[in-house]
Amino acid sequence: MADTPSQDLMRYDLMAQEALKGVVRKSLEIAGKEGLPGEHHFYISFRTNASGVQISDRLKEQYPEEITIVLQHQFWDLEVSEKGFSVHLSFNKVPERLVVPFSALLGFFDPSVQFGLQFAQNEEAVAAAPGEETVPADEPPAGEEGEPAKSGEAGGDVVSLDAFRKNK
């Protein structure tokens, strides 16, 4: 008799995602209280159409599904809670306040140490199938600071929970 995997009624995949979002939360808390140490900076991708996301209509129109922001030199009023974060950035010299629940996260990457996390989309996001769009706000030009890594180009370790799931 062949072994058949039992159904994961504990939902370890969801527990692991929440734990990894805790890494993002703690990183943002440090940045909010102490600033970014050394060369650390963050690329944060999130679904703009997710419940609880608050961005301007202008940004929502430009990035209806997904956006990647850069927290490096020019951000202010970073506030972090258990549920998400808010931050002020400037896009084309226009100040914007973004409110992002952790449930909307798709990715977190710190290129200074080649550390990245990738989050699976929940059921309501699967229908959107977003393509990545990168918006570095008013950061220095890409040639000076480098561009965010696209999927598969990170060069470091990106943790995807799908690697740990068994095929059904």
DSSP string, 104-116: GEEEEEETTTTEE
Q: pLDDT, tens digit, for every residue of 18-33?
A: 999 999 999 999 999 9
The predicted pLDDT at position 132 comes to 36
pTM for the whole structure: 0.72
What ranges do the domains of the chain cover? 12-141+150-163
The predicted pLDDT at position 2 comes to 59
Domain 12-141+150-163 in CATH 2.30.30.220? The answer is yes
pLDDT tens string, the chain, 168 residues long: the values are 556 678 989 999 999 999 999 999 999 999 999 999 999 999 999 999 999 999 999 999 999 999 999 999 889 999 999 999 999 999 988 999 999 999 999 999 999 999 999 998 754 433 333 333 444 454 433 333 333 333 333 334 444 444 444 444
| Cβ-Cβ contacts under 8 Å for 8 (sequence gap 6 or more) | none
CB contact at 8 A, 22 and 102: no
